[in-house]
Structure 1
């Protein structure tokens, strides 16, 4: 079960929080109906001042103060409703060290719409990709010039950082999180329940696998470089890490901390990204694509491709071919 730390800041947008709660509550219900374990536990987090002023309950959830010992797996930052963002950030500045500490302890951080402003104020997004509501993009760029703003993106994913654009983009990011932790079957069920456009979802999430190399872990950078250079001939991750003076467990931990995914998942993404480019830009047969992307088993290739891309290779070629 993944612990969700939902920040309820001052000047929050109720619609944003309602969407977040609705999607994760529905995902939990659907999973239980399918005789699966409840995947998410929702924790509402506020400052002591907010709790004193507004009470210790929020829409049926007990509110945790930021001083609690909660270790979230995913921190969720909802959108704001404000005409004065600097003032709103000032009101919510006590969340900033909490967000930083949660990240240090291994949490993923996700912001929705203008929640990116609080995320940006933490400094964690510097040198990383992000998006926000299109109408707030200029203000965001001026406020956080070190962030790589992608104003036309519905969603950005950069390591353990996620951001979404405005309005319905929130649902695309929520669906991405559901798919990651619950699989395609549950994600498709949720998409149908909330009438989320899966085509738009696929285009926004799987356009390019662009992992960050901006972290400071040189050992991890070396492994990334090796995987990206030798993905066609690598058979096991052990081939990459065997000469590194560290335990496998420590290497995997550091790699996931820096990139957001373990080495084997990184290798799979690099291979699938290569396959996607071939499908987009060449007339190579599927067998040729499989071979060039480092796979020897067509069944394994197709299973991994569908897991990452959300559709079979031939369907992807039909949709995204550019020649």
Structure 2
């Protein structure tokens, strides 16, 4: 089933950006409707900083830098990225592109990756990021980071899976003669709720849930964050996201748990606690209801080699 965005995807021609990544990603996405004419084409644009739209976009990508260029805090692209992410855009980076997301504050307290050779520099610049340079790609729900210079292919295939499904990933990888990789070739049933629904109060609650998913997030708490009455909050949240708050929170917690099971050595009980479950059997039931697997079986199947 397709889940293609109807807003533009912006590939950012930032200072020093690797042209191969920018044009390669644009070509990669353009191949999808050629392989299957029933697939909805994406509106993918390579844009310089002085040509960026102020209207909301579906996603944006910071490419690798081949010149060692690093962003400064007051660069217009930093403010633009913050604004777009706040409006619901999916934020992505490849290699040194992660420095732009870091400068924008979009990786704070999040897991992320970049090129292994940049690890020391990145940690010094952004010590509050949970950097995992051993991973080729880290999907943290509304922020995705990829590793080395050529990891734009991994990001492209991963986004293809998110928007078109696993079968298209296989077809595209075969056509390009690239290895999709075990982790990127898994079932792409990731939790990707709508964020560009236009309800600012609901988006505030979604952002709060993204950051505080491990705490007690009751309807009264979320309604207060949104500045709404409880009844109005539940009604507007369900209308905007297509999911009631309790079901949304469960799906979000399971998505966070999936990432932890893939990337960390923490026990299942610890992961359950970290994502907000104080009862491990209840966590296991919720996890299986969404993924079809127990947490242990999921870890055995999808754990990355260096976890």
**Structures share fold, TM-score greater than 0.5:** yes
State how far apart, in whole Å, the 2-side matches of 1:138 and 1:94 are: 26
SS at match of 2:45: strand
State how far apart, in whole Å, the 1-side matches of 2:130 and 2:283 are: 32
TM-score when normalising by structure 2: 0.65
**1:158 to partner: Cα distance:** 2.0
Instruction: Find the counterpart in structure 1 of residue 153 from structure 2.
Output: 171
Which of 62, 65, 79 is the matching residue for 2:64?
A: 79
Deviations 1:11-54 (A, max 9, x none): 1112211321122111232342xx2322x211222133xxxxxx
TM-score when normalising by structure 1: 0.63
Q: Please give the residue correspondences for 1:272-291 in structure 2 after superposition, counting only pairs within 5 Å.
A: none
Q: Please give the residue correspondences for 1:1-323 in structure 2 after superposition, counting only pairs within 5 Å.
A: 1-2=4-5, 3-32=8-37, 35-38=38-41, 40-48=42-50, 65-66=51-52, 68-83=53-68, 85-86=69-70, 89-90=71-72, 93-194=75-176, 195-201=178-184, 225=215, 245=230, 246-251=232-237, 262-263=248-249, 265-266=251-252, 269=255, 293-294=284-285, 304-305=291-292, 317=300
Deviations 1:238-294 (A, max 9, x none): xx86997143354358989xxxx9446436647878999xxxx99xxxxxxx99843
State how far apart, in whole Å, the 1-side matches of 2:128 and 2:260 are: 29
Does the CA contact (< 8 Å) of 2:72 and 2:103 recur in 1?
no
SS at match of 1:153: coil
Number of aligned residue pairs? 257
- CA pair 269-11 structure 1, distance change in 2 beyond 3 A: closer
Single out whichever of 193-202 and 109-118 deviates more from structure 2.
Answer: 193-202
Q: CA RMSD in A?
A: 4.5
**1:10 to partner: Cα distance:** 2.0
Question: Whose radius of gyration is greater, 1 or 2?
Answer: 1
- CA pair 156-25 structure 1, distance change in 2 beyond 3 A: same
Deviations 1:77-128 (A, max 9, x none): 1111114x34xx2499221111111011110100011111122111221222
State how far apart, in whole Å, the 2-side matches of 1:217 and 1:314 are: 30
Does the CA contact (< 8 Å) of 1:4 and 1:41 recur in 2?
yes
- CA pair 95-217 structure 1, distance change in 2 beyond 3 A: closer
